[in-house]
Amino acid sequence: MPHLSVRARLAFWHTSILAALLGASAVVSVAFLRQSSARRTDGDLTDTWSAFRSELISERSELPSLALATADALASFRLNNVAIVIFDAKNAIIGMKALGESQGDVGDFAPAFHPEEVPRIVGGRFGDASAFATIPDSEGGYRIFSAPVYLPKERTTLVVARSLHQENEAIEEAIATFAIIAPIVLALAFLGGWFLAGRSLSPVGAMSERAARISASTTSERLPVVNPRDELGRLAIVLNDLLDRLAEALSQQRRFMTDASHELRTPVAVVRAVTDVVLSQDTRTVSDYRDALDTVQREAGRLSRVVDDLFLLSRADIGERPVRRRSLYLSEVIAESTGDLAPLATERGITIESNLPDEGCPFEGDEELLDRVFGNLVDNGIKYSPDGSRILVTLADRGSWYEASVDDEGPGVAADLQDRIFERFFRVNDDDFSVPGAGLGLSIVRWAVEAHGGTIAVGKSARGGARFTVVLPKNARPEGTISG
Ligand code: ADP
């Protein structure tokens, strides 16, 4: 039924299960009815048999022959919906009678009940022991009970028979009534199921209608939550949470695009302005050209750094920049990245002090990314510290992790901005162009540290400036890691 709607399928299954239950209970009820009516019939037969037996014994004690005694007993016995047949010891019929008929006649038991057939039908036990048997016919047949009666001088076999037609008719009537009622019940059940399924599924219709209206330009739309406690309500809540996250991701993406284009536009605008000015006059001094080219070179460098950072971040986002781990010494990596920045520090009279353990600190990590982490932190230290100040770089082995820190004597980072500075394009003084940067460095640093399973935090340094602390666990193997 894959082409049917959920509503139709629910109603169909609901009705099918009810039909199966009704069918099964009908079969069980009919079987039970048949069994109890058979038990009642057999009880009636044996009661009648015993009563007639007493009658026969008493008549025989008074009359000279069995034939006379039988005839008298039959004449005086009140028949109760049964036929009685008496056989002699040779299985020949001595007498018989049925309801409302004269002796020697099976009356309304005719034509299916043939008394002379009884010995054959009962079989070998006839005349020796008691036995029940059923004579079938198209309307339910007859039930017979036969057992020997021992009189003082002879043995007879007394047979009582009862028609099963009435019981059969009652059962058939019950079946016919059921056959009429069951389809009506099932039809009502289908309608009820259809109505209930429609009611319970109506929130789904409302949800899909609303979902169809949600697009990239209508991210504030949410699915209706009819009842937050039922399954569909919970589904709507979960989907709304998902929409919240998608909307947040979309708006982050948009912010990123706006910030990125802003960062790219600035150097391009500077280059255009400088070249326009230089080219606006036919003759320029060599020094004018040199100054202009210096600016172009600086801005091109800035542009390419921003493009490189953006490229690295977007590759990290889509998982295309895996962490390539190999064995290295952390103190060597830190010493190298610090060493590379020494000329920059010297230019500003800044001293970089290092406190790195002699053991080297073996670590499984991505050298390029770790170099980026410590290079960026020390570079920021130089950028945001006053001339002539000091920067302290330390590394310590803490058992199952390494802890590295970079302290400076700059302005530090205000407590409420300590999380934000790791966001993409966030700069504390965004319009201060004296310090170069696009606000991408720390977001790359945080990604690289976390890709190693570590954490980074900023706080206040004892030296008055900022203190960046990096924790790198020795045994972390986060996903997206390649050994090599
Ligand atoms: P960028 O340095 O290119 O602006 P970063 O992501 O490296 O970008 O840093 C983000 C911001 O965090 C910086 O603009 C600066 O305001 C602040 N910051 C970073 N390092 C320091 C530091 N050592 N001292 C004070 N502020 C800092």
**What are the tens digits of pLDDT across the range 152-171?**
888 999 999 988 888 888 99
Residue 219 has a pLDDT of 82
Confidence of residue 103 (pLDDT cuts 50, 70, 90): low
**Those residues with Cβ within 8 angstroms of residue 316's Cβ, 6 or more apart along the chain or in another chain:** 444, 447, 451
Residue 363 has a pLDDT of 94
Residue 454 Cβ inside 6 Å of ligand 1? The answer reads no
Question: What own/partner pairs with CB < 8 Å and gap ≥ 24 does 142-146 have?
Answer: 142/109, 142/112, 142/113, 143/38, 143/41, 143/42, 143/45, 144/45, 144/118, 145/42, 145/45, 145/46, 145/49, 146/118, 146/122
Closest C-alpha among 359, 356, 462, 350 to residue 412: 462
Residue 297 has a pLDDT of 95
460 DSSP β-pair partners: 466
Pairing of strands 155-163, 82-87: antiparallel
**Rounded Cα–Cα distance for residues 182 and 21 (Å):** 11
Quote the ligand 1 centre to 412 CA distance (angstroms): 9
Which of these ranges, 41-45, 122-126, 409-413, has the smallest mean pLDDT? 122-126
Asked if residue 11 lies in contact with residue 193, where contact means CB atoms within 8 angstroms, the answer is yes
Residue 384 Cβ inside 6 Å of ligand 1? The answer reads yes
Quote the ligand 1 centre to 426 CA distance (angstroms): 8
Side chain identity at 215, as an amino acid letter? S
Confidence of residue 266 (pLDDT cuts 50, 70, 90): confident
Q: What are the two backbone dihedrals, phi and then psi, of residue 139, each rounded to the nearest 5 degrees?
A: -110, 20
Residue 252 has a pLDDT of 83
Identify whether 111 is preceded by a cis peptide bond (ω within 30 of 0): yes
Residue 322 has a pLDDT of 87
Which of these ranges, 45-49, 92-96, 262-266, 351-355, has the smallest mean pLDDT? 262-266
**Which ligand 1 atom is nearest residue 381's CA?**
23
Average pLDDT over residues 2-16: 88
Residue 484 has a pLDDT of 44
Residue 458 Cβ inside 6 Å of ligand 1? The answer reads no
Quote the ligand 1 centre to 427 CA distance (angstroms): 6
**Rounded Cα–Cα distance for residues 468 and 459 (Å):** 6
Residue 413 Cβ inside 6 Å of ligand 1? The answer reads yes
Q: What are the two backbone dihedrals, phi and then psi, of residue 389, each rounded to the nearest 5 degrees?
A: -85, -175
Asked if residue 109 lies in contact with residue 147, where contact means CB atoms within 8 angstroms, the answer is no
DSSP 369-428: HHHHHHHHHHHHHHHTS-TT-EEEEEEEE-SSEEEEEEE-SS----GGGTTGGGSTT--T
The average confidence (pLDDT) of the chain is 89
∠ CA 220-224-226, nearest 5°, is: 155
Quote the ligand 1 centre to 306 CA distance (angstroms): 15
For 430-464, how does the pLDDT look when each residue is reduced to its tens digit (9 = 90+)? 776 677 778 899 999 999 999 999 999 999 999 89
Residue 374 has a pLDDT of 96
**Which ligand 1 atom is nearest residue 436's CA?**
3
- Whether the per-residue pLDDT at 409 is higher than 70: the answer is yes
For 361-390, how does the pLDDT look when each residue is reduced to its tens digit (9 = 90+)? 999 999 999 999 999 999 999 999 999 999
**Rounded Cα–Cα distance for residues 234 and 9 (Å):** 23
Residue 427 Cβ inside 6 Å of ligand 1? The answer reads yes
Quote the ligand 1 centre to 414 CA distance (angstroms): 12
**Rounded Cα–Cα distance for residues 285 and 275 (Å):** 14
Residue 478 has a pLDDT of 55
Quote the ligand 1 centre to 418 CA distance (angstroms): 10
**Rounded Cα–Cα distance for residues 196 and 210 (Å):** 22
For 236-262, how does the pLDDT look when each residue is reduced to its tens digit (9 = 90+)? 999 999 999 999 888 888 888 888 888
**Residue at token pair 């008074």:** 62
Higher pLDDT, 381 or 482: 381
